[in-house]
Structure 1
């Protein structure tokens, strides 16, 4: 493709089917999902639970535990809430898919849940926002613990296995978690206090518009299906998977850009057999990162929050936290979700990659305690 063929004057009618690379880029994106950090305020995305809401959630936890079912059985029918509260939560899905792409449910800290209760509440509330939970086929992992595992004793068998981004305390550049799910959900069990780990969000649609005007070649590079992703495997050599970092769903740009499987990291080095990125790809990484920093917002965070981020259109980053001498208390629970009622269409060559985490009937691991930060939870793409 030539840069000229991807001009801002392109019409929507020129697009091919969903998720394929279009002949021409869609024109400038419009709507509430196009925002810069100075424009997005906490009041725009935070909803506060009332005391009555929290009582309902506690009752739903007790009712579910009395059923004697595994946590993987949590859904709207087993985590029962009133129609009013259920509607209040499900409305967040519309905001995530058609609004700012960000939502925070606040106030759960007032319930003082123990670890098991917090896990059930998080999974149950998410079921009323987005019905489906993603499960990583790599390890049947559905719920992960984002925490400082750098002080854990490393068993002998794990000496050569690096910790994933979710288990280390270093800063993370802007990214979206590739083929992990439509909506990223995080429950803040402990924000770590004044210990770093701040979270930042950036609208990729805002970045898209600026690149479309000033450097459309970056978008062309991102849309080419030749990015060399290294995928880890259990007890086997990693393998190369080529694909784009920019997709399109009926004119909506979808970003799936994460650096770890492209560049490696200090804890999970890139295998020497993997090809390097091209100069154009390295330039695209830098251009997107700089614009994300320019337009990002610091996410307003409090203990007990449940955060929801559109993983297809909003990029996220994290500052470093903790110290080398003492374990940080920062602890978040993480899942990826999908709402069949609002999800963006996914067809074409890479539809199976997007849909695989939501394969029906797959066993779901929803651990209350994080006991294996090396093999199962780290995941093959090493994203945080």
Structure 2
């Protein structure tokens, strides 16, 4: 993880901040689409959304968020405005989390390496099923990776009766993770200030946020801009993670959620940008088709 401070967001307009942030992102990687509208910069602010509902996302609410990772190599957040109160950022190392499970309940490690079904929350391509199986812990050679989102596991069980129910051991394992992630031993908190840029490696860092109360004045309301990036220095992923990330090769163009509004201009951009950064890339194609799952 990395925290860079001092970007002049008080001097920049919102449009200038967005442009400067996008320009900075071009030096780091390839922007990935983030929602059902296939947007590649998201406004993280309370827009009246609901969190733990079907299709709910956390970025447009003021809710406390479950610990989770995003669908990319690196998630970037630049802070324009802070909340009246709350909205603290929290992070946990998935490596430290794995080690603590090993110490306390080594019998559950193999369980966490099994697939857990997650909902796409409606952000999938039309050709994909609405849910996907993905382990919480994985290993590719010397590279460990961890990924979880309890809300999306619970949502898949709630919305799709056709997927397998959790076994008692699986439930015990994710309950243990919830307890450990919130503990003072593993969880590190920070206050993102105006002009701060936070960068997190999504395979070794989980993140969360406390609930917040906003100001009344529109330009004082909490506002961050989020980029999801595929980066040329990324690690390789296990083969069974490709059902979600599509391409598991180190440094490859991968990640993001397709949504329903991918344009030819965006496809041209991502290929041009990946080529400029020397990143392996291939045309996007789902590993699992909706029709195959239905059959």
TM-score > 0.5, shorter chain as reference: yes
**Partner of 2:210 in structure 1?**
319
**Partner of 1:109 in structure 2?**
8
TM-score normalised by the chain length of structure 2 = 0.72
* Structure 1 unmatched runs, 5+: 1-101, 153-159, 366-384
Q: 1:201 touches 1:317 (CA, 8 Å); kept in 2?
A: yes
Tell me which of 87, 91, 105 is aligned to 1:201: 91
Rg comparison, structure with higher value: 1
Question: How far apart are 1:212 and its partner, in Å?
Answer: 1.5
Question: How far apart are 1:110 and its partner, in Å?
Answer: 5.9
Tell me which of 46, 54, 63 is aligned to 1:148: 46
Match status 1:310 vs 2:174: no
Question: How far apart are 1:271 and its partner, in Å?
Answer: 4.4
Question: How far apart are 1:112 and its partner, in Å?
Answer: 1.1
**Partner of 2:291 in structure 1?**
none
Map 1:356-367 → 2, pairs under 5 A:
356-357=254-255, 362=267
> In 2, distance between residues paired with 1:347 and 1:165?
27
Give the root-mean-square deviation of aligned CA atoms: 3.4
Question: How far apart are 1:107 and its partner, in Å?
Answer: 0.8
Question: How far apart are 1:241 and its partner, in Å?
Answer: 2.2
> In 1, distance between residues paired with 2:20 and 2:208?
26
- Cα 1:347–1:262 change in 2 (3 A) is closer
- Cα 1:213–1:142 change in 2 (3 A) is same
**Partner of 1:337 in structure 2?**
229
- Cα 1:132–1:238 change in 2 (3 A) is closer
**Partner of 1:251 in structure 2?**
142
* 1:331-378 Cα distance to aligned partner (Å, 9 max, x none): 1111111221x210135233363244379952779xxxxxxxxxxxxx
Question: How far apart are 1:167 and its partner, in Å?
Answer: 1.2
Does the residue aligned with 1:298 lie in a helix, a strand or coil? strand
Q: 1:141 touches 1:364 (CA, 8 Å); kept in 2?
A: no
Tell me which of 37, 58, 62 is aligned to 1:169: 62
Does the residue aligned with 1:139 lie in a helix, a strand or coil? coil
Match status 1:353 vs 2:230: no
Does the residue aligned with 1:207 lie in a helix, a strand or coil? helix
TM-score normalised by the chain length of structure 1 = 0.57
Question: How far apart are 1:117 and its partner, in Å?
Answer: 0.6
**Partner of 2:114 in structure 1?**
224
- Cα 1:212–1:251 change in 2 (3 A) is farther
Question: How far apart are 1:151 and its partner, in Å?
Answer: 7.6
Q: 1:230 touches 1:262 (CA, 8 Å); kept in 2?
A: yes
Q: 1:230 touches 1:238 (CA, 8 Å); kept in 2?
A: no
Question: How far apart are 1:258 and its partner, in Å?
Answer: 0.7
Tell me which of 92, 103, 110 is aligned to 1:213: 103
Aligned residues: 248
> In 2, distance between residues paired with 1:220 and 1:270?
26
- Cα 1:151–1:234 change in 2 (3 A) is closer
Question: How far apart are 1:299 and its partner, in Å?
Answer: 1.9
Question: How far apart are 1:322 and its partner, in Å?
Answer: 2.0
> In 1, distance between residues paired with 2:15 and 2:147?
32
- Cα 1:188–1:363 change in 2 (3 A) is farther
Tell me which of 168, 182, 188 is aligned to 1:279: 168
